[in-house]
Structure 1
Amino acid sequence: MVKGQYKYSELTGKIIGCAMEVHKILGNGFQEVIYQRALAKEMTLNGLIFSREFEMPIFYKEEQIGTR
């Protein structure tokens, strides 16, 4: 596990662990949506609360240039 060096070290470690588990099981070659679904499943199994495809503003040099 990740040391508690940073404010969100434990959460970051859990997220990375979920992503590594998905990659270990699925490997390469699938469309992005497959990895999104698998990661959502793995994060739920690990008790992580999250939002998929959360829309947020995108800034470039302090100016909003769109959303994603």
Structure 2
Amino acid sequence: MITKAYLTDLVYRVNGAAIEVHKHLGPGLLESIYHKCMIRELALRGINFQSELVIPFEYKGLKLESDLRCDLFIENCMVLELKATNKIIPINVAVLMSYMNHLEAPIGLMINFNVENIFHQGQKTYVNSFYSRLED
């Protein structure tokens, strides 16, 4: 059963993986490089994930083929979006929140590797209505 405490621990573990990747690579590389390294780091830490998961999409009862893919879907409950950009803009957050809603994921994490200090500048956690339904 997924609880808020479980998600807090999961965020901590995924952030730790991102810090490790950033420590070895630093800022300034392509998002695809960070993605590959995060896959390796998550696997080394025993964190289950799906990479480039196709987002299910439905419109008025019609299931649609979709080219929407989240970077990583962690432990079937967290959407992880990776960036390597100068600034996270509102559309980046909107996309993350949309993926979270379509996957019914209560929590999402945006990690931007193009910063000097990833812990203070490069990560932000987001929750939605599915989170408020969870037990502490």
Instruction: Tell me the TM-score normalized by structure 1.
Output: 0.73
Structure 1: distance between partners of 2:21 and 2:6:
25
Structure 2: distance between partners of 1:22 and 1:37:
10
Which structure has more relative contact order (CA 8 Å, sep 6+)? It is: 2
SS at match of 1:48: coil
Aligned length: 61
TM-align CA RMSD: 2.4
CA contact (8 A) 1:57 1:67 kept: no
CA contact (8 A) 1:22 1:42 kept: yes
- Unaligned runs of 5+ residues in structure 1 are 59-65
Q: How does 1:22-37 map to 2 (within 5 A)?
A: 22-37=21-36
Query: Which protein has the bigger helix share?
Result: 1
SS at match of 1:47: coil
- Unaligned runs of 5+ residues in structure 2 are 58-65, 69-136
